[in-house]
Structure 1
Amino acid sequence: MSDDSDRHAAKMAKKKAAREKIMATKTDEKGLVIVHTGKGKGKSSAAFGMIFRCIAHEMPCAVVQFIKGGMGTGERELIQSHFADICQFHTMGEGFTWETQNRDRDIEMARAAWDKAKDLIRDPEIRMVLLDEINIALRYDYLDVDEVVEFLATEKPEMTHVVLTGRNANDALIEAADLVTEMELVKHPFRAGIKAQIGVEY
């Protein structure tokens, strides 16, 4: 091998040893509270990636959509048509407030979605529950963030993962979470006049 190759191999061996030492200390398992937030695209997409991982591992899971209404999406159609036996899918919203223009109705629907979410989370057989766009419902005070945080802290089974998506995650929720990812918007085709497209947004 060349001197460069020797140096690279030695450097990688040192990194591997350091990594293995760190990994040896990571032995605990627990159900995580995971938050995907930020202005960038990909919050729900990343969360559905985890749902599909659960499906692949035959882990029962569930989705509750808080805001999205009747418009079909690829992930919903795929899950309901092929994986309904292992992943429950509940679309509980009727669209954004500027579409419904009825705050009382929005609150009613958000409460119904949260009640469904609590039932699913309490079920110890369900290993992951995705609360899609719940952060929007919390932002508009359709739900009480303290109630949500308290429930996750006291009633979520020990090994159940809960994923909460949507912009502007509440600080109390971020503080309570185990894993928080903020999607940063760098560039988006919408600003160039390009509409949401099948296979990308839905």
Structure 2
Amino acid sequence: MSGLLVVTAVPAEAEAVRAGLTDPTVTVTPIGVGPAVAGAATARLLALAEAAGRPYRAVVSAGIAGGFPGRVAIGGTVLATRSVAADLGAESPEGFIPVDQLGMPPELLGGGTAVPADPGLLGALRTALPDAAVGAVLTVSTVTGTAASTEALADRHPDAVAEAMEGYGVAVAAAQAGLPFAELRTVSNPIGPRDRGAWRMKEAFAALTAAAAVLR
């Protein structure tokens, strides 16, 4: 049996994770941007490992993210209680309707629009990273870029601490494989109106390297 599989969106995130690792059994792989490619690539990695007789023990989606202002600081570390498909659903005059409230059979939704982190894995990470902000991490296909959309997301998900683009896809792949899942992020920017001058990529990558030391 193999160890832990850590998937990131881009190579720079994978390099930051590898720089902090102390456990040689942890595998780190960049898989691409967005929930669709993240889910498909993770499922393929898990299937190949199982077919080779070396299945992974657990899966972590890791990388940088946008943080909800007032809920997590720039450069801070985030642990997901659940990974949420925040824009999977329908618009209506009354507001956004999540897809699991549209009357579809549950078996067609891959576990619903939110996949909880494995309690044991999340508990171990919380113990190892006591200063991390803990809450929902939203997965979106379109990054939030206005004050109005930020406010709407915050209202719909009062427990949300960050927004990224892959966690839900990875979570569904892990759930389909019957493996524990967690999502670990570090914050490079506040979500909302895009201001590249306010982004702190260096700080976020440094925080990701520091956090990776607990992955084992």
The two structures share one fold, judged by TM-score above 0.5: no
Q: TM-score, normalised by structure 2?
A: 0.31
TM-score by length of 1: 0.33
As a proportion of its length, which structure holds more strand? Answer: 2
Task: Tell which structure's C-alpha radius of gyration is larger.
Answer: 1
Q: Which has the higher helix share?
A: 1
